[in-house]
Structure 1
């Protein structure tokens, strides 16, 4: 414990500030929880096979710093390797990493092959995760689930080592059953979806991020609620199969309030923007596409919009400047929408 003395207006103030507690094992972590420590520094930790680094059950206001290399024993299980759960937590990378060493699981089959663990599960409320480095996840890197008011900034998801080495379905960030999630100023280099907006989600901001490789940004929207207010802004998508895909699930309630703004596409392989709808009823409403610009490779398609003639698909406002690739496919575009099929 560090103590500070302040002299203010003739009164001496005694203020105690917590010093960081070093954690180098799961036993150290459990002891820190039992003591109610509020500032915790994770050093090099080897997590046993089949167990999680459990960052839950901390008091609100706790700060956890990742200063060492976190590694894990090998087991075929669902994970998560790291569980982050709680309220009003700050989790910050301080030169450390979560290194899942995914090559031990990669088998070119992704989710269909041997059982592979989720790397980081985030079930956080009113919390911030800053500067997190996740290396070589076996499958999904970060899964946000049942979160509220979560901000992820300056994250790095690095799966470059998996290129050509069996890595598949290494999704960057997936979001499900959550409200008000922000992913900012982050870099994702992987072989699957950079960002996947899944079921029962509202209020997502994905801004100032870079996606390298993989499948780009995918907005699915399933579950029992309309997926609402999804903003993809000021980001770069480079060398991905698609730039942005909007594909509401057949069993979902649809999408409403999708904003794609100031997105740079480079060397996209399949389609710059791909909008599809499996069945009328899972409608797509209130879509704004503004300044989505860049190139598609010659083997790809400039843009694909393939939706049924659904009167509930309304209020699409569209400006994009995508060049290259084969002629766009445009079917079912709502009336008065200003999409230019090139």
Structure 2
């Protein structure tokens, strides 16, 4: 199970303020013990150099409507081998932002153990299971998905992301009985990563839909496994080679996705089940450097 640094559970990342709304109540938390009180009583919250103890989460799921939370300084996390997100974010019409120079240091190396997927945990940057979310102007350095959109998410936009060392910009993995729709990735860079952009559905999953997905203006460099991957055979962390048909993937656009992969990587890997992919288009797509491309849908290979 992937350990995301930030997990969006519900609500919107962008706040909207109505005319005549009451003035924000401001407060600054400088210790972890201050956070819950700030969340309960303030609508303009600054989290300054918060050190989260091992085995604890920075829980922002109960912010009031139209709250702005600003990360300042460096947010750090103590190590404990467990399977939970380090930061939980949820609410209605809220805005999460950062002061100049702010860093969220997930202490990922403690969980990676230098073994990537085989370490103590996996370590996603953002894991989105929410509706009406905008994530923009982010830099993620990690060893799992830079951004993973999954489990019923809809109307999610990721813009101006810089991903380094990751598993890329991902839809999924998509299991049974869920719909993921209206997801857009724009104007982003993925470098020194295992994958570039990918849609991954779990082998054997049923009764699910992935619909209306856009990857546009994505630059790839030094990708070690797959540049563009659409797979319906995801099993135990990778492709099984045998696609299944229980997840429908439709209305997907890859536009101006370009860049390079390493010589042992595949530029493209597209493996759809029988009739379960439709209306997937590739425009101005050019990924080079790899060998052994494999596609059973579209004209990339």
The TM-score with structure 1 as length reference comes to 0.66
- By how many angstroms is 1:110 displaced? 6.0
1:215 aligns with 2:179: no
Trace 1:85-124 onto structure 2 (pairs within 5 A): 85-94=90-99, 95-108=101-114, 114=120
Instruction: Describe the superposition over 1:76-95 as per-residue Cα deviations: whole angstroms up to 9, x where unpaired.
Output: 44445444343333343235
* Native 8 Å contact 2:125 2:146 kept in 1: yes
Instruction: Describe the superposition over 1:82-141 as per-residue Cα deviations: whole angstroms up to 9, x where unpaired.
Output: 443433333432354443434444434567655xxxxxxxxxxxxxxxxxxxxxxxx5xx
Trace 1:67-86 onto structure 2 (pairs within 5 A): 67-86=72-91
2:265 matched residue in structure 1: 300
Task: Pick one of 261, 265, 272 that aligns with 2:220.
Answer: 265
- The 3-state SS of whatever aligns with 1:248 is strand
* Native 8 Å contact 1:60 1:87 kept in 2: yes
- By how many angstroms is 1:287 displaced? 1.9
Indicate how the Cα distance of structure 1 residues 271 and 71 shifts in structure 2: closer, same or farther if over 3 A, else same. Answer: closer
* Native 8 Å contact 1:42 1:65 kept in 2: yes
The TM-score with structure 2 as length reference comes to 0.74
Which whole-Å CA distance do the structure 2 matches of 1:184 and 1:32 have between them?
25
- By how many angstroms is 1:68 displaced? 4.2
* Higher radius of gyration, 1 or 2: 1
Task: Pick one of 298, 306, 309 that aligns with 2:274.
Answer: 309
- The 3-state SS of whatever aligns with 1:289 is strand
Which whole-Å CA distance do the structure 2 matches of 1:32 and 1:287 have between them?
41
Task: Pick one of 184, 199, 210 that aligns with 1:231.
Answer: 184
Indicate how the Cα distance of structure 1 residues 206 and 109 shifts in structure 2: closer, same or farther if over 3 A, else same. Answer: same
* Native 8 Å contact 2:108 2:142 kept in 1: no
2:18 matched residue in structure 1: none
Indicate how the Cα distance of structure 1 residues 307 and 213 shifts in structure 2: closer, same or farther if over 3 A, else same. Answer: same
Indicate how the Cα distance of structure 1 residues 112 and 316 shifts in structure 2: closer, same or farther if over 3 A, else same. Answer: closer
Matched residues, number: 265
Indicate how the Cα distance of structure 1 residues 179 and 269 shifts in structure 2: closer, same or farther if over 3 A, else same. Answer: same
Indicate how the Cα distance of structure 1 residues 92 and 230 shifts in structure 2: closer, same or farther if over 3 A, else same. Answer: closer
Indicate how the Cα distance of structure 1 residues 222 and 92 shifts in structure 2: closer, same or farther if over 3 A, else same. Answer: same
Which whole-Å CA distance do the structure 2 matches of 1:296 and 1:248 have between them?
23
2:151 matched residue in structure 1: 199
* Native 8 Å contact 1:200 1:222 kept in 2: no
- By how many angstroms is 1:196 displaced? 1.5
Gaps (5+ residues) in structure 1? 1-15, 115-138, 140-168
Which whole-Å CA distance do the structure 1 matches of 2:161 and 2:282 have between them?
22
Instruction: Describe the superposition over 1:228-276 as per-residue Cα deviations: whole angstroms up to 9, x where unpaired.
Output: 1222222111122221122222314132222222221212222221222
Which whole-Å CA distance do the structure 2 matches of 1:40 and 1:330 have between them?
49
Structure number with the bigger relative contact order (C-alpha 8 A, sep ≥ 6) is 2
Q: What is the aligned-residue RMSD (CA, Å)?
A: 2.9
Indicate how the Cα distance of structure 1 residues 326 and 186 shifts in structure 2: closer, same or farther if over 3 A, else same. Answer: same
